[in-house]
Structure 1
Amino acid sequence: MTQLETAMAIMMKVFDTYAAGEGNPGTLTKGEAKTLLEKELPGLMKGAKNQAGVDKILKDLDFNGDSEIDFSEFGVLVCTVACVCHSRCSKK
């Protein structure tokens, strides 16, 4: 597989691993999403100013308002974080 194909496969596996914890195995509950962020993006979580900000991000990700994060919504999070990181790295 190419590097991008590998990255996509890893992203899908990470989502599926955390989504399988509780509730619907095709979506992340708020608890699953927080655990995923804490374990998979610890640097981002350490840099978060407050927990209320993290809760707002999770709420804003839930575009369809079903109180869960599906893979499409998760993809938006990953792409947004990647864009922010890329922008910061490009400025250095």
Structure 2
Amino acid sequence: MESAIKTIVTTYLSSARGKENLDGKTFQKLVKKQLGGIMEDADSASAVKEMQKGLDDNSDGKVSFQEYLTLVGYLANAMSERKCGTDAEAS
């Protein structure tokens, strides 16, 4: 668990490159490179832009660390539901 949290933090920080927030282009790269294996629309610029708008609580056009954590939580929850659904069907 500790290494997973470190990975989440370092992935954001390395993508942000010393800035507090991810701009649209940087967020697009992060999603495509880091989340393409678990997100269907990671290659779709328009889908990622819509996702960014949905995450952008303060409407500044950027993704803060807290907003990024919202995405991570959503993805973890979706993955958990898929795994639980699969396990329930196998029983």
TM bucket by the smaller chain?
A: 0.7 to 0.9
* Larger fraction in strand: 1
Alignment: residue pair count: 85
Task: Kindly state the Cα deviation for residue 54 of structure 1 after the two structures are TM-superposed.
Answer: 2.2
List structure 1 runs of 4+ shifted beyond 6 angstroms. none
Computed over aligned residues only, the root mean square deviation of the Cα atoms, in angstroms, reads 1.7
Measure how far apart 1:26 and its partner are. Answer: 1.3
Percentage identity across paired residues of the two chains:
25
| Other-structure match for 2:7 | 10
Name the structure 1 match of 2:89.
Answer: none
3-state DSSP of counterpart to 1:69: coil
CA-to-aligned-CA distance 1:43-88 (integer Å, 9 cap, x gap): 244x229543322111111101111111000000001011001101
Q: TM-score, normalised by structure 1?
A: 0.82
1:26 matched to which residue of 2? 20
Measured in 1, the distance between the counterparts of 2:23 and 2:79 equals 25
Mapping 1:1-92, distance limit 5 Å: 4-20=1-17, 25-45=19-39, 47-48=40-41, 50-92=44-86
What is the CA–CA distance in structure 2 between the aligned matches of 1:87 and 1:27, rounded to whole Å?
A: 29
* TM-score, structure 2 as length reference: 0.83
Partner amino acid for 1:74?
Y
